[in-house]
Amino acid sequence: MPVEKIALITGANKGIGFEIARQLGEQGSVVLVGARDEVRGKAAADTLAGLGIAAAPVRIDVTDPASIADAAVQIERHYGRLDILVNNAGIAGGFTGAPSEATTDDLREVYETNVFGVVSVTNAMLPLLRRSDAGRIVNMSSHVGSLTLNADPRSPFANLNMIAYQSSKTALNAVTIAYAKELRGTPIKVNAANPGSVATDINHHRGQRTPAEGAVIAVRLALLDDAGPSGAYLSEDGDVPW
C-alpha cells in the first residue's frame, strides 16, 4: 500500500483552496484544511470528510507568526512530516487606484499575505517537508504577475494596472525561484501555479473558470513525480513567461 501524502493547503475553507483540498483528497492525500477562522475551517473539513476524504482543520493565519508556529507544531505532533504545502491564501487588497496614488500601506496590506505570509509559512513547514520522500511546495501565482505579459501592449492584461496585487504576484514568483534554487538537489520541488481567471471572492466572482478548474494545475504540481520540474511557472497550458 502506498503511504498517504500529508497536504497542507492555506486558505482552504473556500474557493480554489477548498477545491485543491478536495481533489488532493480524492487522490488519496490526507488534507489539512488551513483557515484563519476555526469555525469555517472545521466546516470545510467536515464537508470533505462527508465526501469520504481524510480531512482535518488547521487554524493558520499566514500573517500571524504565532499561528504559523502553532500549526507547524500541530502537524508535527499528529503526522510527523508534511509532503505537500500549497500556499494558496491570498488577497487583492482594498486599493484599486492608479499606481501614483498608492501608499506603502496599500502595498504592505497585500504583501503581508501574498508574499511575507508565503515566506513565513514555507520556512515554518520546511523542516517537516524535509522529512518527506518527495516534498512539494506549490505557490498560487497568477498570469497578472508575469512581467512579460504585463509589459506587452497586445496582452489581455495590458490595461490591468493593480500595483499592489500584480507586483505581489511578481514578487511571489521570485520567491518561488529562490526556494527552488535553495532546495535544488533535495527531494523537494517548488513551483508557481497559474489557475487562470477563476470566479472567487477575490475578484467578486467575475472570473471565467470555476474553482474546480483552477485547482487542476496546483494539484498536478503537488503530485509531481521525480522527473517533474522545479522553479517553474506553469498553467494547464504549459510554461507561463516570467
* Residues labelled as active-site residues: 165, 169
| d(C-alpha 14, C-alpha 36), whole Å | 12
| d(C-alpha 231, C-alpha 111), whole Å | 21
Residue 128's nearest CA partner among 75, 88, 87 is 75
Residue 114's nearest CA partner among 146, 137, 92 is 92
| d(C-alpha 144, C-alpha 169), whole Å | 7
Give the N- to C-terminal CA distance of the chain in Å, as an integer: 40
Question: Which helix (H) or strand (E) is 87 found in, with range?
Answer: strand 84-87
| d(C-alpha 86, C-alpha 223), whole Å | 11
* Rg of the chain over all Cα atoms, to the nearest angstrom: 17
Contact 180, 190 (CB under 8 A): yes
| d(C-alpha 59, C-alpha 46), whole Å | 14
